[in-house]
Copies of this chain bind each other. A is one copy, B any other.
Amino acid sequence: MDQTRRREKLDHLFHPRSLALIGATRSVTKWGFIVLARIINDGYAGEIYPVNPKEKSILGLPAYASVLDIPEPVDLAVITTPAPAVPEVMEQCGRKGVPAAVVITSGFSETGVEGAALEQRVSEIARAHGIVMVGPNSMGIYSAAAQLTCLMAPVMPRPGHVACIAQSGNVGTHFLFRGYLRGLGFRKFVSSGNEGGLDFVDYLDYFGADPEITSIIAYLEGLDPGNRFLEVAKRVTREKPIVVLKGGRSAAGAQAAASHTGALAGSTGLYTGLFRQTGVIQAETNKEVVELARALETQSLPQGRRVGILTRGGGWGVITADACVEAGLTLTELAPETIARLDRLLPPFWSRGNPVDLVAVLSSQVYLDCLRILLADPGVDAVLALGANVEAQADNIMQALGRIEKVPAEEMERMKAKSRKEGQAFVDGIVGLIQTGGKPILMAGRWTASREWDTRLQMLAEPEEAARVLAKMVDYAEYLRR
- A residues sitting closer than 8 Å to B (CB atoms) are 28, 34, 37-38, 40-41, 59, 106-107, 110-112, 115, 154, 166-172, 174, 177, 219, 221, 245, 247-253, 255-257, 259-261, 265, 284-287, 312-319, 321-322, 324-326, 330-331, 348-349, 351-353, 355, 357, 360, 387, 393, 396-397, 399-401, 403-404, 406-407, 446, 461-462, 464
Given the known interface contacts A253-B325, A317-B256, A324-B252, the answer about A462 and B287 at a Cβ–Cβ threshold of 8 Å is: yes
Q: Find A315's partner among B221, B321, B352, B355 (CB 8 Å cutoff).
A: B221
B318 touches A247 (CB 8 A): yes
B326 touches A256 (CB 8 A): no
* Residues of B with C-beta under 8 A to A399: 154
Complex-state Cα separation, A249 to B38, whole angstroms: 51
A315 touches B260 (CB 8 A): yes
- Can you give 12 contacting A-B residue pairs, CB < 8 Å? A41-B400, A59-B406, A168-B316, A168-B318, A171-B313, A221-B315, A253-B325, A256-B317, A259-B352, A260-B357, A286-B319, A287-B462
Complex-state Cα separation, A348 to B40, whole angstroms: 34
Name the distance in Å between A113's Cβ and chain B's nearest Cβ: 11
Given the known interface contacts A256-B314, A260-B315, the answer about A154 and B397 at a Cβ–Cβ threshold of 8 Å is: yes
B321 touches A252 (CB 8 A): yes
Given the known interface contacts A171-B316, A286-B462, the answer about A37 and B404 at a Cβ–Cβ threshold of 8 Å is: yes
Q: Find A219's partner among B111, B259, B315 (CB 8 Å cutoff).
A: B315
* Residues of B with C-beta under 8 A to A115: 349
A247 touches B315 (CB 8 A): yes
Complex-state Cα separation, A406 to B33, whole angstroms: 11
Complex-state Cα separation, A403 to B259, whole angstroms: 37
A284 touches B317 (CB 8 A): no
A252 touches B322 (CB 8 A): yes
Complex-state Cα separation, A247 to B167, whole angstroms: 39
* Residues of B with C-beta under 8 A to A400: 34, 37-38, 41, 154
Q: Find A407's partner among B28, B106, B461 (CB 8 Å cutoff).
A: B28
Given the known interface contacts A154-B396, A287-B462, A464-B285, the answer about A245 and B319 at a Cβ–Cβ threshold of 8 Å is: yes
* Residues of B with C-beta under 8 A to A314: 110, 168, 170, 256-257, 259-261
Across the A-B interface, give the 10 residue pairs with the lowest CB-CB distance, nearest first: A168-B315, A260-B314, A170-B313, A111-B349, A250-B325, A253-B322, A247-B318, A154-B396, A171-B315, A253-B321
Complex-state Cα separation, A285 to B360, whole angstroms: 24
Closest to A139 in B: B313
**A28-B406, A110-B349, A154-B397 are known contacts; what are 15 more A-B pairs with Cβ within 8 Å?**
A34-B400, A37-B406, A40-B404, A154-B399, A154-B400, A168-B314, A168-B315, A170-B312, A249-B322, A252-B322, A253-B319, A253-B322, A256-B317, A256-B355, A259-B357
Name the distance in Å between A450's Cβ and chain B's nearest Cβ: 17
Q: Find A318's partner among B41, B166, B253 (CB 8 Å cutoff).
A: B253
Given the known interface contacts A314-B261, A397-B154, the answer about A171 and B322 at a Cβ–Cβ threshold of 8 Å is: no
Complex-state Cα separation, A177 to B403, whole angstroms: 18
B313 touches A247 (CB 8 A): no
A326 touches B250 (CB 8 A): yes
* Residues of B with C-beta under 8 A to A41: 400, 403-404
